[in-house]
Amino acid sequence: METSSLRIFLSVVETGSVSGAAKQLNYVQSNVTARIRQLEEELGVALFIRKSRGMSLTSEGRVLKEYAEKILYLVRQASKAVNESLDLGGELIVGSMETAAAIYLPIILSKFHKENANVNLSLLTGTSEEIILKVLEHKVDCAFVGGKVNHPDIMQYKVIEEELVLFNKKPFSSIEESKNITLLVFREGCAYRAHLKHWLSYYGIRQYKIMEFGALDTILGCVEAGMGLTILPRAVAERPQYAHFKVQNLPKEISYINTSFIYHKDTALTNAMKSFLALVEKTNFF
DNA sequence: GACAATGGGGCTACATCTGA
DNA sequence: TCAGATGTAGCCCCATTGTC
């Protein structure tokens, strides 16, 4: 069994079809079909259920998927470790939710870069749920996410307790004004979005519209235009570029959320990873 | 029309053989 | 011993077919 076969296998799993995998890998469809067939012959089991539109995993396929992800992760780690031993620096992929990427990461990443100039550092942003999934799939080495993560494979510690505040063009004088509002939020899976919904249900407000965005600047631009409201850490309002926003406090019971630093318990502690962990530990986020 | 499977043929890497 | 020739296996692409 070759790693190239496992890559093709995982691509079919990810895209849900042979043609999708072929497009993703820049192969022709027949090549992917043949490689999957070879893998099935080698293992003596069917890995996929063929459908008229795409393929889905059999129970044996699901077992292989788990091992294939681990094997390819180990191969990547081995490559990183060898690069480090050759003093090539290796690489580190850091995941983060948008706000942490905008507020805290520039400080950490610039420090890390100064101390580890030969490490190829990548930053991947998304919602907390998306980033946690990527940590579990070993697609990022470590990450900053909102809230506490309850998963046995995740190592975590609190880096900061954020105070969340309401960003609205005209602050509410009473909660009655918040009926039929528009929420300006990140995609489903964002910890702040969940907190905002929690805040509304706290006051029994269930009628609202939702507008989703992918970037912090866009959300705040829409708040400024009077399109709706959002909740974000107070640290955002303290940034010079956002200092003109008038923010409103939330009830204390629901205004705090932890930002956690997480990594997979099986993550290989390469020099780059150790160095980043040490930096996060000694950084004062307040 | 979209998608998977199959057959045929080209290309490349590797092992083995052969002759100088 | 070494360089070139030959055979084989594996991977890939193209064209085509079958299924839904």
Number of Cβ atoms within 10 Å of the Cβ of A212: 13
Which range has the worst mean pLDDT, A57-61, A100-104, A139-143, A149-153? A57-61
**Cα distances (angstroms) measured from residue A244 to each of A35, A135, A238:** 58, 36, 9
Assign A75 a pLDDT band (cuts: 50, 70, 90): confident
CA A50 to C1' C19, whole Å:
11
pLDDT of residue A84: 66
Residues A33 and A141 in one domain: no
Q: Which residue is nearest to nucleotide B6 (CA to C1')?
A: A30
Interatomic CA distance for residues A197 and A208, integer angstroms: 10
Last residue of a domain, one of A81, A103, A122: A81
Provide the domain limits for residue A141: 89-160+259-282
CA A3 to C1' B1, whole Å:
34
Q: Is the CB of residue A256 less than 8 Å from the CB of residue A164?
A: yes
Does A87 score more than 60 pLDDT?
Answer: no
CA A71 to C1' C17, whole Å:
37
Tell me the average pLDDT across A102-108.
84
Does A21 score more than 60 pLDDT?
Answer: yes
Q: Which nucleotide is nearest to A29 (CA to C1')?
A: B4
Does A141 score more than 80 pLDDT?
Answer: yes
CA A58 to C1' B9, whole Å:
34
Residues A147 and A198 in one domain: no
Residues A133 and A267 in one domain: yes
Q: Is the CB of residue A96 less than 8 Å from the CB of residue A186?
A: no
Residues with Cβ within 8 Å of residue A11, at least 6 apart in sequence: A20, A21, A24, A25, A32
Last residue of a domain, one of A81, A109, A143: A81
Residues A192 and A106 in one domain: no
Last residue of a domain, one of A36, A62, A81: A81
Assign A89 a pLDDT band (cuts: 50, 70, 90): low
- CATH code, domain with A45: 1.10.10.10
Residues A26 and A72 in one domain: yes
Q: Is the alpha carbon torsion for A59, A64, A66, A69 positive or negative?
A: negative
Assign A96 a pLDDT band (cuts: 50, 70, 90): very high
- A222-266 pLDDT per residue, tens: 888 888 888 888 888 888 888 888 888 887 777 888 889 999 888
Nucleic strand B within 7 A of Cβ A34: yes
Number of residues that this document lists for chain A: 286
pLDDT of residue A174: 66
Residue from A43, A41, A50, A42 nearest A18 by CA: A50
pTM: 0.67
Q: Which nucleotide is nearest to A31 (CA to C1')?
A: C12
Which residues get their CB within 7 angstroms of nucleic chain C? Answer: A 2, 4-5, 26-31, 34-35, 38, 52
pLDDT of residue A85: 62
pLDDT of residue A175: 62
Number of separate domains in chain A: 3
Q: Residue A48 forms beta bridges with which residues?
A: A57
Residues A244 and A200 in one domain: yes
Residues A277 and A149 in one domain: yes
Does A286 score more than 60 pLDDT?
Answer: no
Nucleic strand B within 7 A of Cβ A158: no
Q: Which nucleotide is nearest to A53 (CA to C1')?
A: B3
